[in-house]
Structure formats: C-alpha cells, structure tokens
Amino acid sequence: MMTRRDALKTTALATAACATASSVSTLFAQTAAAPAGPFSLPALPYATDALEPHIDARTMEIHHDKHHAAYVTNLNKALAAHPDLGQRSVEELLGHLGTLPQEIQTAVRNQGGGHFNHSLFWQMMKKSGGQPSGDLAKAIDTGFGSFTGFQTKLTEAATKVFGSGWAWLLLQEGKLVIESSPNQDNPVMKGVAPGAVLLGLDVWEHAYYLKYQNRRPDYIAAWFNVINWDFVSERFAKA
Ligand code: MN
C-alpha cells in the first residue's frame, strides 16, 4: 500500500515530469514560432564540395547551413516587431542603420550584415575561378600595377583584420579600392552603393578553421583559386 510519503513523492515526480514536458513543448513552440521571413537563406549556387580542395565541403556546409542560416533567423527575429521594415531590402536597411529604431540597430548591423555579406560571398566563388579578363583585368592593372599587385594588397588587408571580419574590393569614383571591416560590417554601412561592392573575402575563423586552423594566410592563398571572376566582372560592368 502506498504511504502518504510515497504518494507525495509520486506527485512531485509527476509534476517534475510535466514541467519538463511543458518546457520541451515551449521550446518547440518557440522554434515553430520563429518568424519564417521576411528574409530567407539563399541556396548555395553549387554543391558543398564544389570548391574542394581549396574550401572543404564540411566547412561550406556549416558555414552556409548554420552560420548564414543563423544570421537570417536572427535578422528576422529582430524585425519581427517591425513588419514595415521587413518590406525593405537588406541593402536598404544596412545603408540607413542610423534611421532604424535604436533597439534593433545592433541586431540589423550584425545579423543583416551577416546575411548580406554571405549572400554575396557564395556567388563570388566557383570551381576553377581562373583570372579576371577584359575591362576588369585592365582596371586591376591600372589600380594595382598587376594582378599580383592586387593579390598582394587584398591578402595584406585580409591578413591584417584583427579577429573576425572581411576584406573588400570596391569601385569608388571609377577607381578600384581595397578595404577591410570588422565583424559583419561592410562598405554599404558607410554609404557605398551595394553594387559597387565587387568582391568580399570572409576571414572569420568559421570560414577556414576546420581545414586551415590558425593558418589564415594559407586559406587566403587557396581562396584566390575559387574567385568567380565572371560574377565580379558583371558587377564591375554594372557599377
Ligand atoms: Mn562567414
């Protein structure tokens, strides 16, 4: 026969079980309720192993499916209470950060920056990237002396980023310019037209650590093999 003490114990256990069950269902409810939009994760334009051996498949998978996905989810969360802002493009939001409600500025800067930067980054790479040609090749020679000169300058900018960030190739007043930025910042946040951002190199450790560990310069050197120069040329022609 169950004593009063046992009965109390059973009740306590049942209550604890219910509490666990309810917090699990709350968790699922929150996941399900995470806003599906307005922004969504673009698919990679190639298979995750397309850039092997320079960028390994596992890195591409985690980088795109986890890191980029998280930027999108968190950007949507930040905008959930501001449906009007969700109507705007991410470029528009980034170009006017100072006009956004104070409480979401940091989130849009970090998560929106992450979304914009990675959306471009995937397209800026392809298998057997080759070398630039035509007008872009000429502009690179004019701006940096030679392709090697350009490579040296971009490598330098990317190597010097302390911690996480990006190195960029921009078109500014008809000239090619190399810059870098910390975190998920980008030139659009400083007023550069989105189309003038020609090329971006992600030097966050998540972009290379699995294969290259602390050897960022090796990753940068390898990355030059997978630059999608057709894509960069198209942007250059439009800008
Ligand atoms: Mn990244």
Total domains in the chain come to: 2
E strands within 117-221? Answer: 165-172, 175-182, 197-202
pLDDT score of 213 more than 50:
yes
Whichever domain contains 195, its CATH number is 3.55.40.20
**C-alpha of residue 209 to centroid of ligand 1, in Å:** 11
Point out the least confidently predicted range of 3-12, 39-48, 63-72, 221-230.
Answer: 3-12
**C-alpha of residue 152 to centroid of ligand 1, in Å:** 22
Q: Between 229-238 and 134-144, two packed helices, what is the crossing angle to 10 degrees? A: 80
**C-alpha of residue 238 to centroid of ligand 1, in Å:** 26
* Tokens linked to 133: 């040609």
**C-alpha of residue 68 to centroid of ligand 1, in Å:** 7
3-state secondary structure of 33: helix
**C-alpha of residue 168 to centroid of ligand 1, in Å:** 14
Sequence-distant (6+) residues with CB within 8 A of 183 are 110, 113, 164, 165
Cβ atoms of 157 and 180 within 8 Å: the answer is yes
User: Are residues 119 and 140 both part of a single domain?
Assistant: no
In a domain, 23, yes or no: no
Whichever domain contains 95, its CATH number is 1.10.287.990
User: Are residues 190 and 232 both part of a single domain?
Assistant: yes
Q: Which residue range forms the structural domain that includes residue 182?
A: 134-238
**C-alpha of residue 125 to centroid of ligand 1, in Å:** 13
pTM of full prediction above 0.75: yes
User: Are residues 156 and 66 both part of a single domain?
Assistant: no
> pLDDT tier at 5 (50, 70, 90 boundaries)?
low
Q: What is the mean pLDDT of the chain?
A: 89
Percent share of the chain, pLDDT over 90: 83
In a domain, 21, yes or no: no
- Predicted confidence (pLDDT) per residue in 119-174, tens digit: 999 999 999 888 999 999 999 999 999 999 999 999 999 999 999 999 999 999 99
d(C-alpha 125, C-alpha 172), whole Å = 22
d(C-alpha 12, C-alpha 159), whole Å = 58
In a domain, 26, yes or no: no
